[in-house]
Homo-oligomer: A and B are copies of this chain.
Amino acid sequence: MDIINIRRSVRKYQDKAIEKEKIELILRAAMQAPSARNQQAWRFLVCTQKNKNFELSEATPNMKFLKNAPLVIVFLTSLCDLTVPNMYCQDLSASVENAMLEAASLKIGSCWCGTYPNKERMENVRNIFSLDDNLEPFAVVGFGYPLEDDAFKFIDRYDENKIINVGEE
């Protein structure tokens, strides 16, 4: 799948809004992710408000690049919907990856800022968006049309030394 190969972290964005229908496609991809016993205990905060994204960029060191992001999606765990509580990190991560791949297929770059389980980062995000106690910030992802031409350049990460084969007896 070409898209899996060309997706990379993209932190520099054009000053251009993401079309509403493309935001919907990204959210649809996010919600198609697998989840433990199909719990789907997620919410998606979609922020196109520049002053909020600027606040995020100031709040934590790993989010500085968000100051120019035309779109930020905060992936949230909905704690009251959990039926398999010890597996939500997997569910939400698969959801983030789906969203980023969908974005790449639309020529939109993205970059994942890990939030959970870092308490300080989680608290910063909670405060900026005045989140309910039920919603736990899992990750903050910036999206935008890339500023640089090589944003989707393939970098080969394959390393056969990382494979352990257990073949036929």
CB pairs A–B below 8 angstroms (15 shown): A4-B102, A7-B32, A28-B158, A31-B157, A34-B97, A42-B162, A45-B164, A46-B165, A49-B167, A49-B168, A87-B114, A89-B89, A94-B96, A97-B98, A129-B166
> Counting CB contacts under 8 A, is A3 at the interface?
yes
A3 contact set on B, CB distance < 8 A: 1
Number of residues of chain A lying within 8 A (CB) of chain B: 58
A96 contact set on B, CB distance < 8 A: 90, 94
Q: Let me know if A166 and B97 touch, CB within 8 A.
A: no
Q: Which of A3-55 contact B (CB under 8 A)?
A: 3-5, 7, 9, 27-29, 31-34, 36, 40, 42-49, 51-52
A residues contacting B by CB (< 8 A) are 1, 3-5, 7, 9, 27-29, 31-34, 36, 40, 42-49, 51-52, 76, 78, 84, 86-87, 89-90, 93-94, 96-98, 100-102, 105, 112, 114, 117-118, 129, 139, 157-159, 162-169
Partner among B29, B158, B169 whose Cβ is within 8 Å of the Cβ of A49: B169
Smallest Cβ distance from A10 to chain B, in angstroms?
Answer: 11
Q: Let me know if B139 and A101 touch, CB within 8 A.
A: no
Q: Let me know if A114 and B36 touch, CB within 8 A.
A: yes
Q: Let me know if B94 and A97 touch, CB within 8 A.
A: yes
